[in-house]
């Protein structure tokens, strides 16, 4: 007959893993920008490394002020609604 010892040990290892300790960084002085292209766009902030996802034309997101200037240079964004 088989032994359930491995299953018990696996369960024990799984249930005692520590919770992640890293708290996500918050946006610094958020700036609202509007997306003005037709295709979905995923971009990583040059300064913060945050990932921003824009799905549709007219989408508005608050982005970290440290990333806003570089995003605006891409030509896909405005600071006013379309």
Cα 56 to Cα 33: distance, rounded to the nearest angstrom? 13
Cα–Cα distance list, 4 to 7, 10, 44 (Å) = 5, 10, 46
Q: How high is the pLDDT of residue 18?
A: 60
Q: How high is the pLDDT of residue 25?
A: 80
- Over residues 50-72, the mean pLDDT reads 95
Mean pLDDT (the chain, rounded): 85
CA proximity to 48, closest of 22, 32, 26: 26
Percent of the chain with pLDDT over 70: 72
Domain residue limits, the chain: 22-78
């Amino acid at each position: 007959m088989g032994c359930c010892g491995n299953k018990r040990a696996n369960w024990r290892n799984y249930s005692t893993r520590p919770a992640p300790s890293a708290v996500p960084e918050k946006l610094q002085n958020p700036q609202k920008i509007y997306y003005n292209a037709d295709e979905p766009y995923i971009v990583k902030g040059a300064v913060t490394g945050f990932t921003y996802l824009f799905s549709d034309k007219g989408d508005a997101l608050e982005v970290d002020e440290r990333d806003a200037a570089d995003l605006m240079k891409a030509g896909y964004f405005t600071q006013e609604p379309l």
